[in-house]
Structure 1
Amino acid sequence: MFTGIVEETGKVVFFQKKSDFAKIKIKCDTVLEKTQVGDSIAVNGVCLTVVDLDENSFSADISYESIERSTFKYCTTGWAVNLERALTLEKRLGGHLVQGHVDGIGKIVKIMEYKDAYKLQILYPSELDKYIAVKGSITIDGISLTVASEIAANTIEVAVIPHTFMVTNLKDKKSGDYVNIEVDVIARYLEKLLKKEKDTSKLYEDIQNLMSLEDY
């Protein structure tokens, strides 16, 4: 579990796709503190397990499903990636609860700079529309952000303060670039609860119908 508050930006120094997974090595600093093999680190919002590390980098394996669902399918050496260590009970929850399970790939439509903020317009997959709401939380490349507005079909706008923009890989992004999207997990649980309620109501209705038939 993560918070969506990026701790530092690392650099991909090795990336190799295999038949059903990929190997990645990331040069970094802050997230290596107290990190051990087996720990989880969110890389551009994707939860990865540390399989090896040294004084200035760590390595991880990426499953085929994670590659297909995320921007890792486009990954190359030299990439700047957002990094965050897993949440601990001692850490402030400054963002929102992030699982590190990417739901889909979005595309930056436009980046606008203002005096006191940046605004990003992001196109997202239509199947995620039911989970996204204005003023709701969303994770973009591992960054916890708030949906400011819906400006068109499957297109949202998010506001980013200068600090967040400059300490993440957003400063290197441009229109047309792809980003990882994770919707708020609460929205997914609500969907499941509503579906169960609907299924239960249907079952109750069927039982009532059967009981009515027995009267004849």
Structure 2
Amino acid sequence: MFTGIVEELGEIKEVESAGDSARLTIHGPLVTSDAVHGASIAVNGVCLTVVDVDDQGFTADVIKETLDRSGLGALAPGARVNLERPVRVSDRLGGHIVQGHVDGTGTVLSREPGERWDVVTVSLPSGLARYVANKGSITVDGVSLTVVEAGPDRFSVALIPTTLALTTLGLRGVGDVVNLEVDVVAKYVERMLTVQNSEDAS
């Protein structure tokens, strides 16, 4: 489990394609300082398993399902990525509960610069819109954010200076694809209500 608080801005060093999968080599000395083979690290909000690790970074395999459902398949050497280690049970939950299971992708539709922050609007797949609410939480490229305004096919977020400086969201432009993970609590509530309504109707 993660919190959506990015620890390090990493860099893709190598992408090795293997047909229906890929192996990424990622520079990230902070997140690998205590990592071991088999550890989990979130890369742009996608939970990946460490295959090899050294003091400068790690490699991870990405399967077809992940390549299809996220923006990881479009990464190339030199691309910057948001990195986060899993939260410890004793840690503060600074963002919100993030699983590292991307639900889909969105596209940056607009950026409105302010004096100290940017308001960014991102497209929202129709199947995810019901999980996104004004002032609710959403994860964009692994970053826990508060929704400013939620619509049927888009949502907006306000990016503070820290987020702009320390994550890839400061680099994203109109047309860029971002990974989205909606709040898991909303999905569980929907599931429970669906089951309850089904039982009541039977």
How would you bin the TM-score normalised by the shorter chain?
over 0.9
Shift of 1:16: 2.0
Partner residue of 2:146? Answer: 146
**Partner Cα separation in structure 2 for residue 202 and residue 44 of structure 1:** 42
Partner residue of 1:180? Answer: 179
Shift of 1:73: 2.2
Partner residue of 2:116? Answer: 116
Q: For residues 46-195 of structure 1, what are the structure 2 equivalents within 5 Å?
A: 46-150=46-150, 152-195=151-194
Shift of 1:17: 2.2
4+ runs deviating over 2 angstroms: none
Segment of structure 1 superposing worse, 152-161 or 175-184: 152-161
Shift of 1:101: 0.2
**Partner Cα separation in structure 1 for residue 16 and residue 89 of structure 2:** 35
Give the TM-score taking structure 1 as reference length.
Answer: 0.91
Shift of 1:112: 1.7
Higher helix share: 1
**Partner Cα separation in structure 2 for residue 118 and residue 36 of structure 1:** 37
Which amino acid is the alignment partner of residue 195 of structure 1?
A: T
**Partner Cα separation in structure 2 for residue 52 and residue 36 of structure 1:** 8
**Partner Cα separation in structure 2 for residue 156 and residue 171 of structure 1:** 17
Shift of 1:91: 1.8
Q: Conserved in 1, the CA contact under 8 Å of 2:124 and 2:152? A: no
**Partner Cα separation in structure 2 for residue 72 and residue 34 of structure 1:** 24
Partner residue of 2:26? Answer: 26
What SS is found at the alignment partner of 2:12? strand
Which amino acid is the alignment partner of residue 199 of structure 2?
A: T
Which amino acid is the alignment partner of residue 130 of structure 2?
A: K
Shift of 1:28: 1.4
Shift of 1:39: 0.7
**Partner Cα separation in structure 2 for residue 131 and residue 171 of structure 1:** 25
Give the TM-score taking structure 2 as reference length.
Answer: 0.97
Partner residue of 1:211? Answer: none
Q: For residues 2-41 of structure 1, what are the structure 2 equivalents within 5 Å?
A: 2-41=2-41
What SS is found at the alignment partner of 1:38? coil
**Alpha-carbon displacement from aligned partner over 1:156-189 (angstroms, at most 9, x marks no partner):** 1101110111100112211100000000000110
Q: Conserved in 1, the CA contact under 8 Å of 2:138 and 2:146? A: yes
Q: Conserved in 1, the CA contact under 8 Å of 2:41 and 2:48? A: yes
Which amino acid is the alignment partner of residue 190 of structure 1?
A: V
**Partner Cα separation in structure 2 for residue 192 and residue 30 of structure 1:** 38
Q: Conserved in 1, the CA contact under 8 Å of 2:163 and 2:170? A: no
Shift of 1:111: 1.4
Which amino acid is the alignment partner of residue 3 of structure 1?
A: T
Percentage of pairs with the same residue:
44
**Partner Cα separation in structure 2 for residue 94 and residue 115 of structure 1:** 25
**Partner Cα separation in structure 2 for residue 188 and residue 17 of structure 1:** 33
Shift of 1:76: 1.1
